[in-house]
Structure 1
Amino acid sequence: MSRYDWMDQALCAQTDPEIFFDGRYNFAEKLCTACPVRQACEAQADLCERGLDQKYRHGLWAGKTPRGRAGTDTAGFYDARDDHIRQLGAAGWDAIAIAEETNCSTRTVWRVLADQRDSFSEAA
């Protein structure tokens, strides 16, 4: 299973992609509102656009315009994802399974788990 499998269920994959980039977005926003994978889409947009200024963001993702996404606080998303990674690691999951479950890379999993390991050694 790929971390991009959710894209097959996206309503935008079943329509003309131009409506998500024409700047008017009316029909596209309606599609996004009804989309069953909107959360995964928003997470992917956050991942792809992390640290980018608004002028470098394009198109409608998860029903949000470039301006709307530029103002989104992604810190909460990453904190929750990292907590989930730590929980799965503590439960004995391997890095590949954790990466697939949390829609991130194994490198991210190792970084988060290394941070946890470091915090334990500092407490000792």
Structure 2
Amino acid sequence: MSRYDWMSEALCTQTDPEIFFTGHYGLAERLCAACPVRQACEAQAETCERGLEQKYRHGFWGGKTPRGRAGTDITGFYDDRDARIRHLSTAGRSAQDIAADLNCSTRTVWRVLARTELEEAA
């Protein structure tokens, strides 16, 4: 038994695949809502797209748009990055050095640090 056997039950295999890649996802959303293997499809999308930015995700999978899927796993990335920014800042690193180390902008570093100050003050 293959880990892809679920795909034979997917409703999308019985329709025009274009509806899942046009950017107008109304029909795709209705099909996915009724699909018996939607959760397996969503898990497959997560596996295939893990770590990808939203701009590199395409199509409607598991009932979600590319933006919707990016929101499911990218949050952890930002949480980790923000924690590293705070840690490096408390270790005395400059915003420029932190930005260079984490491949982000100096503006991002300042935003994270400002948000941290606001949260601590509250």
TM-score using structure 1 length: 0.58
Q: Secondary structure at the match of 2:72?
A: coil
Question: Which residue pairs with 1:14 in the alignment?
Answer: 14
Query: Segments of 4+ in structure 1 off by > 3 A?
Result: none
Which amino acid in 2 is paired with 1:37? V
Q: Which has the higher contact order (CA 8 A, sep 6+)?
A: 1
Which amino acid in 2 is paired with 1:18? E
Question: Which residue pairs with 1:31 in the alignment?
Answer: 31
Unaligned 5+ runs, structure 1: 76-124
Residues in 1 aligned to 2:46 and 2:12: alpha-carbon distance in whole angstroms: 18
Identity %: 79
Offset at 1:73?
3.5
Question: Which residue pairs with 1:64 in the alignment?
Answer: 64
Question: Which residue pairs with 2:51 in the alignment?
Answer: 51
CA deviations over 1:13-46 (Å, ceiling 9, x no partner): 0000000000001001000000000000000000
| RMSD value, Cα | 1.5
Q: Is the 8 A contact 1:11 1:35 kept in 2?
A: yes
TM-score using structure 2 length: 0.59
Residues in 2 aligned to 1:34 and 1:74: alpha-carbon distance in whole angstroms: 27
Which amino acid in 1 is paired with 2:14? Q
Larger Rg: 2
Q: Is the 8 A contact 2:51 2:74 kept in 1?
A: no
Which amino acid in 2 is paired with 1:70? A
